């Protein structure tokens, strides 16, 4: 961590910061999707992520919203230390709140001050599913999903293959084609997502990602990418497909879940960002729980 400035100084996130993050995440495993180096790096241009260190903890600042907010410290911490950091962040006018705090952090801070304001961020809640549910699609809850999956498999002789360095160029062309069809440049959300996916594909090996592609008649028609989040949870960052092939999303979802090591009992498919269509799609797969996230402020700082 010697090349990361001491708090309150910050610098921009770099691709070669990965090992520092991976070591801290190994020592203190994350439970929400934001806490992966992949997500931080892939979205760094959108959120202007900057980093600093305080002792053995890593701080991540985003300056996209006014004064900005920080993710809670990355690393092993005590509630008292996190509360002290929040006060210093405000006093030094670095930011004014913690953003995307998980339930552990919210609970650890609750006893330190009556002036803490802890608010849920429902649009940011992660959807967490049983891997077995997504693989087996058993019972009436998944009848429609299994039906669409079977329709796809009957109609298309599609292959499902690991995404490798050798196929990254094809995957990039697929993403470009997908965005061209949907005119991503006219939709800020799709444009930002395209940039993030390009980052993931371009640094696929360095980011330690795994993934898969659906191929039909020699052409890639869908891609997905993810990585382990902690010892029992795998997080899926990307799932993109040509939906003119009816049932392809059910196919890629089920096949990728089946390819994930069974030791990962849970699959985190990230948040819906408050987008109605995305919310309906994620709810339709029957999550077993939501990974709650919170904004934490000092009431005196409001």
Instruction: Please list, in sequence order, all residues whose beta carbon lies within 8 angstroms of the beta carbon of residue 183, skipping any fewer than 6 positions away.
Output: none
The percent of residues above 90 in pLDDT, for the chain, comes to: 78
Cα–Cα distance, 51 to 105 (Å, whole number) = 19
Intra-chain end-to-end CA distance of the chain, in Å: 33
Read off the pTM.
Answer: 0.94
Domains defined along the chain, listed by start = 11-125+293-301 (3.40.630.30), 126-270 (3.40.630.30)
Closest CA to 270 of 62, 12, 38: 38
Residue with tokens 């990602």: 209
pLDDT in tens, 79-105: 788 888 988 988 988 888 999 999 988
pLDDT in tens, 152-186: 999 999 999 999 999 999 999 999 999 999 999 99
Note whether 262 and 233 are within 8 A (CB).
Answer: no
**Is the confidence at residue 299, as pLDDT, over 90?**
no
* Per-residue pLDDT, 301: 44
Show the beta-strand stretches assigned E in the chain. 11-12, 49-54, 57-62, 69-74, 98-101, 116-120, 126-130, 159-162, 210-216, 219-228, 233-241, 266-268, 289-291, 294-298
Closest CA to 104 of 12, 198, 31, 13: 31
**The pair of three-digit structure tokens given for residue 100, joined into one six-digit string:** 């995307």
């Amino acid at each position: 961590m010697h090349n990361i400035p001491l708090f309150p100084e910050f610098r921009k996130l770099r691709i070669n910061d990965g090992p520092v993050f991976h070591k801290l995440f190994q020592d203190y495993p994350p439970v929400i999707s934001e806490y992966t180096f992949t997500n931080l790096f892939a979205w760094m241009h959108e959120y202007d992520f900057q980093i600093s260190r305080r002792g053995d903890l890593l701080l991540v600042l985003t300056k996209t919203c006014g004064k900005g907010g920080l993710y809670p410290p990355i690393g092993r911490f005590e509630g008292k230390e996190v509360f002290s950091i929040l006060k210093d962040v405000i006093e030094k006018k670095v930011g004014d709140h913690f953003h995307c705090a998980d339930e552990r952090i919210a609970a650890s801070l609750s006893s330190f001050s009556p002036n803490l304001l802890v608010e849920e961020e429902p649009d940011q809640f992660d959807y967490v599913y049983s891997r077995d549910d997504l693989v087996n699609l058993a019972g009436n809850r998944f009848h429609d999903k299994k039906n669409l999956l079977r329709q796809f498999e009957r109609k298309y002789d599609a292959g499902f293959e690991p995404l490798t360095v050798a196929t990254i160029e094809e995957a990039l062309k697929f993403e470009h084609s997908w965005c061209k069809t949907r005119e991503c440049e006219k939709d800020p959300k799709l444009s930002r997502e395209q940039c993030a996916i390009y980052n993931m594909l371009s640094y696929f090996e360095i980011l330690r990602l795994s993934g898969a592609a659906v191929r039909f008649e020699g052409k890639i028609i869908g891609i997905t990418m993810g990585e382990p989040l902690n010892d029992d949870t795998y997080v899926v960052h990307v799932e993109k497909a040509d939906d003119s092939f009816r049932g392809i999303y059910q196919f890629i979802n089920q096949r990728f879940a089946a390819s994930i090591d069974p030791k990962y009992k849970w699959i985190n498919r990230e948040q819906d960002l408050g987008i109605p269509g995305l919310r309906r799609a994620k709810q339709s797969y029957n999550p077993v729980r939501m990974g709650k996230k919170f904004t934490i402020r000092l009431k005196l700082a409001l």
